[in-house]
Amino acid sequence: MAKKQFKAESKRLLDMMINSIYTHKEIFLRELISNASDAMDKLYFKSLTENIGLSRGDFAIDLAIDKEARTLTITDNGIGMTKDELENNLGVIAQSGSFKFKNDNTDTQNDDISVIGQFGVGFYSAFMVASEVTVESKAYGSEEAYKWYSTGVDGYTITDCDKDSYGTKITLKIKDNTEEEDYDDFITEYKIKGIVRKYSDYIRYPIRMMVGHSHLKEGTEDQYETHYELETLNSMVPLWKKNKSEITEEEYNKFYKEKFFDYEDPIAHIHTKTEGTATYNALMYIPSKAPFDYYSKDYEKGLQLYSNGVLIMDKCADLLPDCFSFVKGLVDSADLSLNISREMLQHDRQLKIIAKSLERSIKNELNKMLKNDREKYEKFFTAFGLQLKFGVYNGFGAGKELLKDLLLFYSSFEKKYVTLAEYVARMKEDQKYIYFASGETIDKIDKLPQTELVKDKGYEILYLVDSIDEFALQMMVDYAEKQFKSVAAGDLDLETDEEKAELKQKSEESKDMFAFMKEALGGKVKDVRISKILKTHAVCLTSDGILSLEMEKVLSHMPSEHNAKAEKVLEINAQNPIFDTLKKLYETDKDKLKIYAELLYDQALLIEGMAIEDPVEFSNKLCKLMTE
Q: Which residue ranges make up the site for ligand ADP (CB under 6 A)?
A: 31, 35-36, 39, 76, 78-81, 89-90, 96-98, 117-124, 168
- Distance, in Å, from the CA atom of 175 to the CA atom of 127, rounded to the nearest integer, reads 9
Query: What number of helices (H) and strands (E) belong to the chain?
Result: 19, 22
Please name every residue paired with 599 in a beta bridge, in sequence order, or none if there are none.
Answer: none
Q: Which is nearer to ligand ADP, 307 or 467 (CB)?
A: 307
| Residues ≥6 apart with Cβ < 8 Å to 109 | none
Angle of helix 374-393 versus helix 469-476 axis, rounded to 10: 70
Nearer to ligand ADP (CB atom), residue 42 or residue 485: 42
Closest to ligand ADP by CB, 47 or 419:
47
Instruction: Give the Cα-Cα-Cα angle 197, 203, 205 (nearest 5 degrees).
Output: 115
Instruction: Quote the least distance from Cβ 129 to ligand ADP, whole Å.
Output: 15
User: In this complex, which beta carbon is closest to ligand ADP, that of residue 78 or of residue 321?
Assistant: 78
Minimum separation from the CB atom of position 348 to ligand ADP (A): 16
Nearer to ligand ADP by Cβ, of 310 and 388: the residue is: 310
> Please, what is the minimum distance in Å from the beta carbon of residue 117 to ligand ADP?
3
Cβ proximity to ligand ADP: between 122 and 449 the closer is: 122
| CB of residue 47 to ligand ADP, shortest distance in Å | 15
Q: How many CB atoms lie within 10 A of CB 190?
A: 10
State the residue number with the nearest CB to ligand ADP: 97
The pair phi, psi for residue 123, each rounded to 5°, is -55, -40
Nearer to ligand ADP, 308 or 467 (CB): 308
> Of the two residues 124 and 326, which places its CB atom closer to ligand ADP in the complex?
124
**CA count, 13 A, side-chain hemisphere, 548:** 24
Strand blocks (E) in 407-536: 409-411, 417-418, 434-438, 461-464, 478-479, 482-486, 527-530
d(C-alpha 403, C-alpha 412), whole Å? 22
* Closer residue to ligand ADP, CB minimum distance, 102 or 191: 102
Q: How far is the CB of 32 from ligand ADP (least distance, A)?
A: 7
- 3-class SS string, 84-153: HHHHHHHHCCCCCHHHHHHHHCCCCCCCCCCCCCCCCCHHHHHHHCEEEEEEEEECCCCCCEEEEEECCC
Q: What span, in angstroms and rounded, lies between the C-alpha atoms of 207 and 214?
A: 22
The CB-of-295 to ligand ADP minimum distance in angstroms stands at 40
Q: How far is the CB of 97 from ligand ADP (least distance, A)?
A: 2
User: Shortest gap between Cβ of 20 and ligand ADP (angstroms)?
Assistant: 17
Listed in sequence order, the DSSP H helices in 273-373 are: 349-372
Smallest distance from the beta carbon of 67 to ligand ADP, in angstroms?
24
- Closest to ligand ADP by CB, 167 vs 266, is 167
Q: How far is the CB of 311 from ligand ADP (least distance, A)?
A: 15
604 closest CA partner among 490, 497, 516: 490
Paired residues of 146 in beta bridges: 137, 160
The three-state secondary structure class of 76 is: strand
